[in-house]
Structure 1
Amino acid sequence: EKAKLQIHAAFEVPFQKRQTGRARPIIIVPPDAPQLDQDLINLVADAKKWSDELLEGKTSTIRQIEDREGLRSGLVSRILPLAWLAPDISTAILEGRQPQHLTAKKLRSLPELPLDWQEQRKILGFPHQ
């Protein structure tokens, strides 16, 4: 007859449990999914807001906007032309459909933004309409 032998063993493995907050799900999106760029959206929104303030007489000078917003001299003047982006460009930015290379930094660094919408599309990398 076979004898049954039972062995009981206990192991101690040192570990430290860490709570890192809420778990975040991994979301896999298709490569052509919109990519909202909040800095870019804010830049275009600020330009439109400041333009409206000036045109409606709520603010009388660019300097007043710079002082109120705590911005260095000349920055508002560089951003204001974005208020006159082609409507399809503004919409694409707000919906996250801008070209991948288009960032707030790139828009801020443009020496000049033409008023012609076709030229804007060309400079910013949007398809021609």
Structure 2
Amino acid sequence: MTTVFVPMTFPRIGGRKRIVLPDGSLYNPETRVPVDSPIVRSLARAFRWRRMLESGQHASINELAGAERVDRAFASRVLRLTLLAPDIVEAILAGRQPEKLTVRALLGPFPVNWTEQRRELGDGG
């Protein structure tokens, strides 16, 4: 009998058990590729911050940035991620985004129009 040891953990993330691979990336069984954790974390942060502003927990981006201990300009750039087309967000969460779509690229300027976003950020769709 042969025993194979694969170093991985099964932490609860978002209420579900997830597989964390040895390199720290999340295994996504739907796509069979690791999910880009920095992009997913940035999206989660953006939508959480938007919820905090909309609920009145923070009255302004300045107040939010102070509470989160980040620069106001950074908070503004992250909040812009909530303007991404839903299918682009879905692709990122499923780990199917194009390689050129990185956190750095998303924190830069991108079109607000979803069709233009798909052309510029996506696969041309």
- Scaled by the length of structure 2, the TM-score of the pair is 0.70
Question: Secondary structure in 2 aligned to 1:47?
Answer: helix
Superposition RMSD in Å: 2.4
Equivalent pair of 2:88/2:122 in contact (CA under 8 Å): no
CA contact (8 A) 1:50 1:65 kept: yes
Residues 54-110 of structure 1: per-residue CA shift (max 9 Å, x gap): 1222211111221122112311111111102111000110110100121112212x1
Correspondence for 1:66 = 65
SS at match of 1:44: helix
Alignment-derived partner of residue 8 in structure 1: none
Q: In 1, Cα distance between the equivalents of 2:123 and 2:59? A: 34
> Match for 2:43: what amino acid?
V
Partner of 1:35, secondary structure, is: strand
Q: Residue 13 of structure 1 aligns with which residue?
A: none
* Residue 23 of structure 1, CA deviation: 5.4
Match of 2:123 in 1: 126
Do the aligned partners of 2:61 and 2:72 also contact (CA within 8 Å) in 1?
A: no
Equivalent residues, number: 101
Distance in 2, Cα, partners of 1:80 & 1:24: 35
1:103 aligns with 2:102: yes
C-alpha contact 1:81 1:113 (8 A) present in aligned 2: no
Q: Is the radius of gyration larger for structure 1 or structure 2?
A: 1
**Where do 1:1-129 residues align within 5 Å?**
24=7, 33-108=32-107, 110=108, 112-128=109-125
| Structure 1 Cα separation of the partners of residues 7 and 58 of structure 2 | 44
Q: When you count strand as a share of all residues, which structure comes out higher? A: 2
Q: Specify every segment of 5 or more residues in structure 2 that has no aligned partner in the other structure, as ranges.
A: 9-30
Superposed displacement of residue 33, structure 1: 4.0
* Structure 1: runs of 5 or more not aligned: 1-21, 26-31
TM-score (norm 1): 0.68
String of CA shifts for 1:41-63, please: whole Å, max 9, x gaps: 01111111111221222211111
